[in-house]
Chains A and B, each alone.
Chain A
Amino acid sequence: MTSLLPPDSDGNRLSVLAGDKSCGEECRTFIFRKENHTLGNCLRTMLLKNPQVMFAGYTIPHPSEEVMHLRIQTVEGYPAQAALRKAFVDLKTHASQLKTKFISAVDEFEKKS
């Protein structure tokens, strides 16, 4: 089965904004290419559910460019990248559960009719 995502030839989709080095590992602004509110808002929600994340927000700097910035600030000792990875893992779990629930709901509906 071929991938549902279109092929992207330009290498990395995720990079980090070169920012203030004064806060260390705990604050980062991640730059996502070719992403928008679809992923941004979901990630932000998952990040805010993490009690070790102090600040999480996303922005789309200009609507003409398909770029999304995600700012994460965490507590001492917890790297921002770990928070981001956990948010992705949580989102993946959440979405798979949603998919399973949907498919079983469809099966139930078809059995009834």
Chain B
Amino acid sequence: MTEFSFSSKNKLTLKEFEIVNTSNYDFSGHFADPHKQENELKVEIVKIEDDGMFLEFDMIGYDPSVANAVRRLLLSDVPTMAIEKVHIYQNTSIMQDEVLAHRMGLIPLKADPRLFKWKEEGTEDEGTEDDTLQFSLQVRCKHNPDKSSGDPYLDNKVFTKHLKWIPKGSQKDKLINPGPVEDDILINKLRPGHEMDMKLFAVKGVGRDHAKFSPVATAFYRLHPEIRINRDVFDENAIRLVKCFTPGVMQLEPTEDGRKKAKVLDARNDMCSRNVFRHEDLKDAVTLEKRKDHFIFNVESTGAIKSTELVPMAIDVLLEKCELYINEIDSQSKE
């Protein structure tokens, strides 16, 4: 089935040395009522894996400013809990105090930030049950008295499983296990005689302040590629053409006269390497394009909140901002 291509105004073209038609505002009729086009805007979920932590979805018909806003909000404006203050009582390990404290901050915590309040600046580190989570890490490395087992040391590797949650006030009734997302994250290595004893305080923050507060491992989008075959390519050349693209994108199909023809199966997974331009004779056989209004998002959560909940949270942040500014405009115009 040949794919009927849409009018060229919504596609950008990848040429050998340049990318053309990238601007979104060059065509006439750009003034459009934001409410009329609602039925042309679509959101489709493609994949949810890893118990909701990995999400792939498509936004079709939207403006790149909105798609980019969602991406930026996911990275820097959705709040998370992370360790902010570390009180070190004892650290005789090789790792310096500040390096160790930095590492503690980067540990992803399972606590849901929506259950916590923002901690006010200038208040003491200990905090209250509404805005702080307290953990304790106490590890001492000793020689292994059991000579037969392979390990000569006891507790020489400090993992996140050694972190103990110290519930404050009524937290033990409200929260279930707000500790680290994974138990086997290596924090430090010790030898007999080394000891670590510290208290850790986790608060709510946003990625804008420090990347440790970002709820996503990463969130990114790419445009949906499109490959158009300009002239049919057969046999040897077809095999070379198919190899130019990511596996699964193009395939050979048999024709009536026994030859093999190259055909586009699904351009979605193409990584746009533009490899075809290395072959002088195949360069003109295909046109590589991307749909300017079809965004393929990949959102991978660090483990605190599911990706399917993170995207609505990101949009909620945008809605709150709009609300805030509308109220400010209204109150300023009353003056």
Query: Contact at A106–B30, with CB atoms within 8 Å?
Result: no
B34 within 8 Å of A (CB atoms): yes
Query: Contact at A14–B328, with CB atoms within 8 Å?
Result: yes
Min C-beta distance of A83 to chain B, whole Å: 11
A97 within 8 Å of B (CB atoms): yes
Query: Contact at A2–B319, with CB atoms within 8 Å?
Result: no
Contact of B206 among A6, A102, A106 (CB under 8 A): A6
Contacts of B329 in A (CB 8 A): 14, 81, 84-85, 88
Q: Mark A88-108, 1 if CB is under 8 A from B, else 0.
A: 111111111111011101101
Contact A93 to B34, CB < 8 A, known contacts A2-B117, A5-B324, A99-B315: yes
Query: Contact at B322–A95, with CB atoms within 8 Å?
Result: yes
Contacts of A1 in B (CB 8 A): 114
B4 within 8 Å of A (CB atoms): no
Contact A103 to B328, CB < 8 A, known contacts A45-B63, A97-B41: no
- Of the four ranges (under 10, 10 to 19, 20 to 34, 35 or more), the interface on chain B belongs to 35 or more
Query: Contact at A101–B41, with CB atoms within 8 Å?
Result: yes
| A84-B325 Cα distance, complex, nearest whole Å | 10
Query: Contact at A99–B312, with CB atoms within 8 Å?
Result: yes
B252 within 8 Å of A (CB atoms): no
Contacts of A46 in B (CB 8 A): 34
Nearest CB to that of A39 among chain B residues?
B321
Contacts of A3 in B (CB 8 A): 118, 320
Min C-beta distance of A65 to chain B, whole Å: 14
Query: Contact at B316–A37, with CB atoms within 8 Å?
Result: no
Contacts of A92 in B (CB 8 A): 319, 322-323, 326
Contacts of A105 in B (CB 8 A): 43-45, 57
| A22-B150 Cα distance, complex, nearest whole Å | 84
Query: Contact at B30–A93, with CB atoms within 8 Å?
Result: no
Query: Contact at A98–B78, with CB atoms within 8 Å?
Result: no
Contacts of B332 in A (CB 8 A): 12, 14
| A38-B320 Cα distance, complex, nearest whole Å | 13
Contacts of B185 in A (CB 8 A): none
B77 within 8 Å of A (CB atoms): yes
Pull 25 A–B residue pairs with CB atoms less than 8 Å apart, ordered by A. Answer: A1-B114, A2-B116, A4-B79, A5-B317, A7-B120, A12-B328, A39-B69, A42-B69, A45-B63, A45-B66, A49-B30, A49-B32, A85-B329, A91-B318, A95-B66, A95-B318, A96-B315, A97-B38, A98-B62, A98-B66, A99-B312, A99-B316, A101-B41, A105-B45, A106-B308
Instruction: For the complex of A and B, list the 5 residue pairs with the smallest distance between their C-beta atoms, beginning with the closest.
Output: A109-B45, A41-B65, A92-B322, A101-B43, A45-B65
Please give the residue numbers on chain A whose beta carbons come within 8 Å of chain B beta carbons, in ascending order. Answer: 1-7, 12-14, 32, 35-39, 41-42, 44-46, 48-49, 51, 81, 84-85, 88-99, 101-103, 105-106, 108-110, 113
